[in-house]
Amino acid sequence: MSSEDSDFYGDDEVLADLKAKVKVFDVEAWWEQNRTLDTPLKMQAQKKETVDISHLHNPYAGLKNAWQLTETIEDNQMIPGGEDEAPEEVGADLPSMVEGGMARLHLASEFIDACKKSGNQPGAITRECRKAGMDAAKDILNLARMLRVRCGKWMLFCSVFQVNEIWETVAKATANNELGIGAKVAPRSTTDKRTDRLICVYTADFSDTKDVKRVVEKLKQLGLIQARDRSIYYKPGKFII
């Protein structure tokens, strides 16, 4: 039974859902499927070397609010100021990216407005407007590549009841160079009452589809997608337009 004093554990619906999942969870089948994975915790238990930092590149090197290769994950959990996006690529021109992207969107918006007032058949208007939007998106992404604003991110959404467990897995995998160039978790908010929390896993280049797919496959392998029964989204570019 839940009450106002036990909201920490979730309401009746959340509790019932969790109990139902526990009831049907097959522990032996899970271990059989995952026993071969060389996870960070397994490697630590076996006293294996988890990170060989001699060949790793840390885009956050030298930033006081970011994890360093010489630190443990636990050393960096509560450092303030880590709310920023992934660091900019060397030579990136973000101001020009935002300015050029806004200008291109303005052109697309003007065309769409004119198209809707053209008096053409509804089907033709819909096709033209859709094409205008797709062309604008393509041009903006090409501009981002040219200006070296190429960082992208996979976005995992989870409940507050799962976020600590999922973030621990993501953080350790990132530290072991198994995912992308960085990761972050949305901090606890005293004003936002939403129960979803966001975890971002960054990739170096959104146009490198092979690497983007590699990261999401690793997230699947770590049990962070299907097992959680939640959608995952990818957002290209470190810019808001």
Q: Each residue of 89-106: pLDDT tens digit?
A: 778 888 898 899 999 999
Report the mean per-residue pLDDT for the chain: 75
Higher pLDDT, 65 or 95: 95
Q: What is the CA radius of gyration of the chain?
A: 22
Cβ neighbours of residue 149 under 8 Å, at least 6 residues apart?
88, 89, 92, 93, 94, 97, 237, 238, 239
Higher pLDDT, 149 or 20: 149
Given a cut of 80, whether residue 231 has pLDDT beyond it is: no
User: For the whole model, what pTM was predicted?
Assistant: 0.61
Give pLDDT tens digits for 16-43: 777 777 777 777 776 776 666 555 555 5
Range picked from 4-8, 15-19, 228-232 for highest mean pLDDT = 15-19
- How far out from the chain centre does Cα 44 lie? 26
Give pLDDT tens digits for 159-198: 888 888 889 999 989 888 889 888 888 776 666 666 688 8
Report the pLDDT value the prediction gives residue 108, as an integer from 0 to 100: 92
Query: What is the fold of 27-86+150-236?
Result: RNA Cap, Translation Initiation Factor Eif4e (3.30.760)
Higher pLDDT, 50 or 133: 133
Angle at which helix 122-146 crosses helix 94-116, to 10 degrees, equals: 170
Question: Domain boundaries in the chain?
Answer: 27-86+150-236, 94-146
Higher pLDDT, 35 or 45: 35
- Distance between CA 141 and CA 100 in Å, rounded? 11
Report the pLDDT value the prediction gives residue 71, as an integer from 0 to 100: 61
Given a cut of 70, whether residue 8 has pLDDT beyond it is: no
Range picked from 86-95, 108-117, 229-238 for highest mean pLDDT = 108-117
Cβ neighbours of residue 9 under 8 Å, at least 6 residues apart?
2, 15, 161
Q: How far are the Cα atoms of 87, 97, 108, 215 from residue 102, in angstroms, in the given order? A: 22, 8, 10, 30
